[in-house]
Amino acid sequence: MLMQPGIRTLPGLLAALRKARTRSAYERVLRSAEVPAEELAGQATWNNRHYTRNCLLRTADMELMLICFEPGQGTSIHDYGAEEGWVRPIRGELAEERYRLDEDGMLVCTEERRLTVDDVSHLAKGASLHRFTNPLPMRSMSLNIYARPLRSWNVYDSRSGNGRLRPVPPVSKR
């Protein structure tokens, strides 16, 4: 995989993503970006009750979000339906849990792992049932790319396994 050198600023990252035309190109750009978390801090919003979603770029084909987690915060168990995503921590860590529904419709955790700075998790179409949590006593941030922009997602009840299509939470206001 060819790396794209020199993506060290937010404007450079946004320009590279605007030029990218394929999903594999989005992933290459995300993996090669070396934008310091400190530079992105000005784009971050924080909320003591829930994680925040901060849109850095949206086109018809993709969106780049800065996701901000206070200690212990996490997402619901959800999937992206027919869309694809990549998640890369840029500060702190994220605990990732992947799930599947068993024959009785109950959630089964199939994988647990820690993502550290510069790891990239790929959430493929049809295999994206997951949850992310900040396990640290400090703030964590991730850059997330979604190809196509998310309008809705399926949110699952951890006890019953029942899923409901819901609108994606609103983007945080700075």
Show the domains of the chain with their CATH numbers. Answer: 40-167 (2.60.120.10)
d(C-alpha 32, C-alpha 100), whole Å = 30
d(C-alpha 33, C-alpha 78), whole Å = 27
d(C-alpha 44, C-alpha 54), whole Å = 7
Q: What is the pLDDT of residue 131?
A: 97
What is the mean predicted confidence (pLDDT) over 98-109? 94
CA-to-CA separations, 80 to 7, 24, 122, in angstroms, rounded: 27, 18, 12
Across the strands, what pairs with 64? Answer: 57, 145
Q: What is the pLDDT of residue 160?
A: 92
Higher pLDDT among residues 144 and 3, named by residue: 144
> Beta 121-123 vs 77-79: how paired, if at all?
unpaired
Give the phi and the psi of residue 18 in degrees, each rounded to 5: -65, -35
| Per-residue model confidence as pLDDT tens digits over 108-119 | 999 999 999 989
| Per-residue model confidence as pLDDT tens digits over 58-98 | 999 999 999 999 999 999 999 987 689 999 999 999 999 99
Q: What is the pTM of this model?
A: 0.93
User: Do you find a cis peptide bond into 49, omega within 30 degrees of 0?
Assistant: no
